Amino acid sequence: MSYIQVNNLWKEFGQTPVLERINADIEQGAFVTLVGTSGCGKSTFLNMLLGITQPSRGEITLEDQPLKAEPDGERGIVFQRYSVFPHLNVRQNILIALEFSASPFLARLFGQAKNEALRKVDEIIERVGLSHAATRYPHELSGGMRQRLAIAQALIARPKVLLLDEPFGALDPGIRKDMHQLVKELWQQEKLTVFMVTHDLQEAFLLGTRLWVFDKVRHDPDDASVYGSRITYDLDLSTPQSAANADEFSGEIEQTIAQPVNTLPSS
C-alpha cells in the first residue's frame, strides 16, 4: 500500500463543487508541488490534508489510517503568514513545540528538561541559519527569517508530512532562492513527505519530485460553477530523465495557471 492514499475525494462548498474525483497514491519521501489558477481547489486540497477542511466524499489515508478530522502532530504546516507566535522570541517559538508534547498541563519545561530541550532547539536554529537572531521577536525578523523560523518550528515536532501553503509567496526573489535551498536540504535530511502549494511554476518544477496541476476538466458553458477541479497533470520529476520529459508540458501548464478561474458565471 502507498504511504498516502487519496480515494475518490470530492469537496463541495454548499452546492458548488470545488474538487471532484481526486485519486492519488503518494510514496513516502515524495515532494509534491501543487499548482493551478487561483480558486482551483489546490489550497482546499491542502486544507483537507491538514484536517481543517473535511472532504464531502471519499477519504485520505496516511499509512492506511484515515486522517484525523483536526490538525495533529502527524502533519506540520507552514503558512504564508502568521505561522509563528508574535509574543515569543525565536528560541521560545521553537521550544514551545517541545513543551506542548512534554508538559500537558503547564506546557512549560524547567531545569534539566528545559536545558535538554534548548539544546535541540539551538541545533535546529543553527540548521535553518537563525543562530544570530535566537533572542529576537518575530516582528524584528525579516520575512525570510520568519519563514525559516516557521519551518524550524514545524520540523522540531517531527511530522510525517510537511505541508507548505505558498510559504515563499511574500518573499523577494533572491531570498526565495535561499529558501528553496533550505527546504530542499531539510527535505532530504529528514526524509519528509512534502506537499507544497505555489503560484510559481518554476519553483514547482525546481523543488518537486512530482507536480500536480489542478484544473477543471468539464466545463458547462452556462454556469462554470457546476463542475469541480481535478488533477489534470501528474508529472514525475523524481529523475533527471523524467524531469526533462515533464519539462515539455511547462508551456501548457503555464497557460492553465494564467487563465482566470472560471467558476464564476460570466455576467
Query: Is 134 among the residues that bind other proteins (CB under 8 A)?
Result: no
Q: Which stretch binds other proteins (CB under 8 A): 59-67, 80-88, 125-133, 212-220?
A: 80-88
Query: Is 143 among the residues that bind other proteins (CB under 8 A)?
Result: no
Extract the runs of DSSP E, i.e. beta strands, from the chain. 4-13, 16-26, 31-36, 57-62, 65-66, 75-78, 161-165, 193-197, 210-216, 229-236
* 3-class SS of residue 120: helix
Give dist(CA 175, CA 196) in Å, integer. 18
Query: Is 16 among the residues that bind other proteins (CB under 8 A)?
Result: no
Bridge partners, residue 60, by sequence: 6
Query: Is 75 among the residues that bind other proteins (CB under 8 A)?
Result: yes
Query: Is 127 among the residues that bind other proteins (CB under 8 A)?
Result: no
CA distances from 45 to 60, 106, 169, 217 (A): 10, 35, 18, 17
Give residues 159-198 in contact with other proteins (rule: CB under 8 A).
Answer: 159
Q: Which of 60, 67, 97, 164 is in the footprint of other proteins by CB under 8 A?
A: 97
Structural contact between residues 250 and 237, judged by C-beta atoms closer than 8 angstroms: no
Kindly state the smallest distance separating residue 212's Cβ from other proteins, in Å.
22
Kindly state the smallest distance separating residue 213's Cβ from other proteins, in Å.
26
Q: Which stretch binds other proteins (CB under 8 A): 70-78, 201-209, 210-218, 258-266?
A: 70-78
